[in-house]
Amino acid sequence: MTEAAFKNWQAVQDEVRRRIHARIWAPGEMIPNEQDLAEEFGCARATVNRALRNLSDAGLLERRRKAGTRVALHPVRKATLNIPMIRKEIEDRGQSYGYERLMYRDGVPPEELSRRMKARAGDRFVRVTSVQTADGAPFVFEDRWINLSTVPAAAAEGFETVSANEWLLTNAPYTEGDIGFFASNASDEVAGVLGCEPGAAIFVIDRVTWDNDRSITGVRQYFRPGYRMETSI
Amino acid sequence: MTEAAFKNWQAVQDEVRRRIHARIWAPGEMIPNEQDLAEEFGCARATVNRALRNLSDAGLLERRRKAGTRVALHPVRKATLNIPMIRKEIEDRGQSYGYERLMYRDGVPPEELSRRMKARAGDRFVRVTSVQTADGAPFVFEDRWINLSTVPAAAAEGFETVSANEWLLTNAPYTEGDIGFFASNASDEVAGVLGCEPGAAIFVIDRVTWDNDRSITGVRQYFRPGYRMETSI
DNA sequence: GAGTGGTCTAGACCACTAA
DNA sequence: TAGTGGTCTAGACCACTCC
């Protein structure tokens, strides 16, 4: 601690973490400015900046120009979830992947989804439901609406062998998405597909993706009972 | 597009995003190296680096030394969830917050949790259950074990008026945490506390936090039916 | 107005790894 | 071994915002 020993931003970050954790810098308290820290650590200001910016992104510090940097009083923990393609998730577990299309039909989404997808008059949609399996057992039931007005090419694809998810990723990349997670009791339909009792607690991911201001697709994925999504913070 | 017009890293990032989205740089394809892009964009290499690093963190690019940078073939999208303190989440909705401790008892965690918390021989634990309310209605039921060997000070706190969550945040900061999300049918106990039917689908967050290699606490939070966790990607 | 973080620059060296 | 990204430096200017 006596000599300059923090020559890279990760070492600086670790040292700042240590001081926060050891209450040398208490929650809510100001810490020295970048210039002073750079001198203390014997490195360039940019290096300190990189470290502090990272900690700020992680929610441990709060930074404001002129006001300076303080230790967050109530660190809002941020969990980063990876949303992989189902196929990749299953194959990464070393299981065999299967896909089956269940239904394909033109139509109009239910009112609530129409609103969420900001459907315009004249927009055309197709609904595709499917099941994806791991080692032959149902893994996820997917109920999806595709906006053909945004993705006309989808009208020529029946999604009989290729999942809509993968086809869209390749053919209709999105710029933004809204995603929600919740729990739902299995309906008879969901229970039938997933092979569980009606009423079983099902983990659901609900997503709408956008190509700028045009909705591409709205989808609900019902995972098999016991599914657990994990990460670290 | 003809003249140098990308003088800051966000503009560079936007332009790279645009080229990926427009398939000027197709998935799986290599893009020019940082030096060349810096010349094309009329900025310093560090600026390009910042932009590309950001896109790499977001999962849109894959970078390897010597191999260069390519557009991700299967972009693993990353959703960042904010895990706020319950009190903050409720107050931010403009609702009144309430806390009630239900149970406080010394004991030993169930086998599975003991293992996850890497309990050592002689470790002492206390179990605290509580309910937090929004405008008087049950919002979340919390079932928590605290490792008193890691946090001795917790033994002197009854958590009668202060939630264990908030007390721990202030008094036993963690360095890491594992977090999981899943759906569960309400047990009689959970249903009783949350005021719903037994069997209702409940969104559950399951967490273990660590002070380096010592577990601090393991907690399960059962949210009221209909709870939905949202973010954007 | 002044102090802070945010960013850019030009150059340099290093670490990794594909060829 | 050579090419790429990863990082550091020293200096500079800018943007924001508290006083």
What pLDDT sits at residue A52? 97
Flag if A173 and B81 touch (Cβ within 8 Å): no
In this structure, what CATH number is given to the domain that contains residue A42?
1.10.10.10
What are the chain A neighbours of B78 within 8 Å (beta carbons)?
A: 80-83
Query: Where is B217: in which H helix or E strand?
Result: strand B214-223
| CA B160, B162, B168, B172 torsion-angle sign | negative
DSSP A86-104: HHHHHHHTT--EEEEEEEE
Maximum alpha-carbon separation in chain B = 71
Judged by C1' against the alpha carbon of B31, the nearest nucleotide is: D4
Query: Using CB atoms, which residue from B21, B230, B233 is nearest to A83?
Result: B233
Mutate to test the interface with A, among B77, B141, B150 (most CBs of A within 10 A): B77
- List per-residue pLDDT tens for chain B, 233 residues long: 434 467 799 999 999 999 999 999 999 999 999 999 999 999 999 999 999 999 999 999 999 999 999 999 888 888 888 887 899 889 988 999 999 999 999 999 999 999 999 999 889 999 999 999 999 999 999 999 999 999 999 999 999 999 999 899 888 889 999 999 999 999 999 999 999 999 999 999 999 999 989 999 999 999 999 999 999 88
Residue A45 pLDDT exceeds 80: yes
- Regarding whether B148 and B203 lie in a shared domain, the answer is yes
Take residue A161 and report the two structure tokens written for it. 């062998």
Of the candidates A168, A157, A182, A180, the residue with the CA atom closest to the CA atom of residue A210: A168
**Span A197-209, pLDDT tens digits:** 999 999 999 999 9
What average pLDDT does range A150-178 have in this prediction?
91
Q: Which of B42, B71, B100 lies at the terminal end of a domain, its last residue?
A: B71
**Span A95-129, pLDDT tens digits:** 999 999 999 999 999 999 999 999 998 899 999 99
Whether residue B119 is contained in a domain is answered as: yes
Q: Which of B71, B105, B124 lies at the terminal end of a domain, its last residue?
A: B71
- Regarding whether A168 and A121 lie in a shared domain, the answer is yes
Gap between the Cα atoms of B3 and B146, Å rounded: 61
- Regarding whether B187 and B143 lie in a shared domain, the answer is yes
Whether residue A229 is contained in a domain is answered as: no
Strand D footprint nucleotides (protein C-beta < 7 Å): 2-12, 15-18
Query: Using CB atoms, which residue from A74, A178, A182 is nearest to B85?
Result: A74
What pLDDT sits at residue A2? 39
What are the chain B neighbours of A206 within 8 Å (beta carbons)?
A: 228
What pLDDT sits at residue B99? 96
What are the chain B neighbours of A97 within 8 Å (beta carbons)?
A: none
The SS3 call for residue A108 is coil
- Regarding whether B97 and B49 lie in a shared domain, the answer is no
- Regarding whether B24 and B129 lie in a shared domain, the answer is no
Flag if A202 and B183 touch (Cβ within 8 Å): yes
Give the number of domains in chain B: 2
Torsions phi, psi for A193 (to 5 deg): -70, -45
Percent of all residues in chain A with a pLDDT value above 70, rounded to a whole number: 98
- Regarding whether A152 and A95 lie in a shared domain, the answer is yes
Q: Compute the nearest-CA separation of A228 from chain B (Å).
A: 5
- Regarding whether B124 and B174 lie in a shared domain, the answer is yes
- Regarding whether A123 and A174 lie in a shared domain, the answer is yes
Query: Using CB atoms, which residue from A177, A183, A232 is nearest to B232?
Result: A177
Query: Where is A37: in which H helix or E strand?
Result: helix A34-41
- Regarding whether A63 and A120 lie in a shared domain, the answer is no
The parent domain of residue A151 ranges over 86-223
What pLDDT sits at residue A4? 44
Judged by C1' against the alpha carbon of A63, the nearest nucleotide is: C5
